Amino acid sequence: MAQNLLQGKKGIIFGALDEKSIAWKTAKRCVEQGAQIVLTNAPIALRMGEIKKLAEECNAPVIPADITNMDDLNNLFTQSMEHFGGKIDFVLHSVGMSINMRKGRPYTDLDYDFTHKTMDISAISLHRVLQTAYKLDALNEHASVVALTYIAAQRVFPDYSEMADAKAMLESVARSFGYHYGIKNKVRINTISQSPVRTTAGSGVKGFDDFINFAEEMSPLGNASADQCADYTVTLFSDLTRMVTMQNLYHDGGFSSTGVTMAVLDKK
Ligand SMILES: NC(=O)c1ccc[n+]([C@@H]2O[C@H](COP(=O)([O-])OP(=O)(O)OC[C@H]3O[C@@H](n4cnc5c(N)ncnc54)[C@H](O)[C@@H]3O)[C@@H](O)[C@H]2O)c1
């Protein structure tokens, strides 16, 4: 499937933890389509070591950055530009974590210190990344930034807890910064609202297996896989979508437009 949609483009991929990660699959697909990439993740995630395999396969350097740390982000963009010998054409933000969910705290009993951390990692981090790039003038004209989100930003999925609030903010940051960066140098910023997939972050949601099966039955095309998400992301990084910006784009097999399906009703 080598159409070379990203020939000559250079990008930074946040969030590849292991082979299941959406960012892992996207990194591979970007390179298959002709891009050069830099991989990044939190230092603690890098210590687990799996990313080295991906880095070798993609011939990509790994530059550690905690996405909530401005010095790390400055260093990441500066070093990436040195590595590429120029500015950056695309960025994938594939980062999320709920501390309250990890600690088993329900939505009606949040620890707000944890909530602040959740918001910083999962939502404010997109602003941090964009502001860093903006101030360093690190992105080329028509560069494309994609962040991954979930439909719990629009509708209630009780076990998604505080992450729903984080995703609502993430989508808002994409719109708001999309305006400013569009005016500055035609950079486009979008969120992809993805079907549930079994990854480390995804599996942190209580009752995830039942939920993924329900979503499958509620989607006329079935759930979109992580590989398919990677394909879709490549189109948004390509020049074929130059006028798409400030959008929340559903990549969910039709789930978001479906009220009910016979598959769900027949189970009653
Ligand atoms: N899996 C799903 O069902 C699903 C559905 C819709 C959207 N998403 C979103 O997709 C994105 C990627 O998640 P995934 O499902 O591939 O899971 P994942 O666990 O593989 O990826 C999450 C990544 O966030 C990174 N991260 C956490 N804290 C960080 C920090 N402080 N600094 C830098 N990186 C940090 C982790 O190391 C990890 O690589 C997330 O935003 C998630 O909310 C996932």
Q: Which CATH superfamily is domain 10-265 in?
A: NAD(P)-binding Rossmann-like Domain (3.40.50.720)
Cα 235 to Cα 178: distance, rounded to the nearest angstrom: 18
Q: What is the mean pLDDT of residues 175-185?
A: 98
- Would the pLDDT of 105 be above 80? yes
150 phi/psi in degrees, rounded to 5: -145, 150
Consecutive H or E run containing 90: strand 88-93
Whether the pLDDT of residue 98 is over 80: the answer is yes
Does residue 64 line the site of ligand 1, with CB under 6 A? no
pLDDT one-digit tens code per residue, 22-54: 999 999 999 999 999 999 999 998 887 789 999
Instruction: Assess contact for 147 and 170: CB atoms under 8 A.
Output: yes
For ligand 1, what atom is nearest to the CA of residue 167?
A: 43
Q: Above 80 in pLDDT, residue 14? A: yes
User: How many Cβ atoms from other residues are within 10 Å of residue 65's Cβ?
Assistant: 26
Helix then strand then coil, % of the chain, to nearest 5:
50, 15, 35
State the pLDDT at residue 205: 75
Give the pLDDT of residue 2. 64
Ligand 1 atom with the shortest distance to the CA of 147: 41
Cβ–ligand 1 contact at 67 (below 6 Å): yes
- Would the CB of 95 count as within 6 Å of ligand 1? yes
Residue bearing the bigger pLDDT, 267 or 196:
196
Say if CB 114 and CB 131 are below 8 A apart. Answer: no
Half-sphere exposure of 248 toward its Cβ, with a 13 Å CA cutoff? 19
Find out whether 136 and 92 touch, Cβ atoms under 8 Å: no
Kindly state if the Cβ of 97 falls inside 6 Å of ligand 1. Answer: yes
What pLDDT does 202 receive? Answer: 79
Q: Is the pLDDT of residue 1 over 70?
A: no
Residue whose token pair is 């903010």: 169
What distance in Å separates the CA atoms of residue 236 and residue 229, rounded to the nearest whole number? 11
Q: Whose CA is nearest to atom 24 of ligand 1?
A: 95
What angle separates helix 112-119 from helix 162-185, to the nearest 10 degrees?
30
Nearest residue by C-alpha to atom 42 in ligand 1:
96
Provide mean pLDDT across the span 101-105.
Answer: 95
Q: Which amino acid is at 197?
A: V
Domain ranges of the chain: 10-265
Average pLDDT over residues 241-255: 98
Q: What single DSSP character describes residue 254? A: T
**Global pTM?**
0.98
Tokens 């950055």 correspond to 65
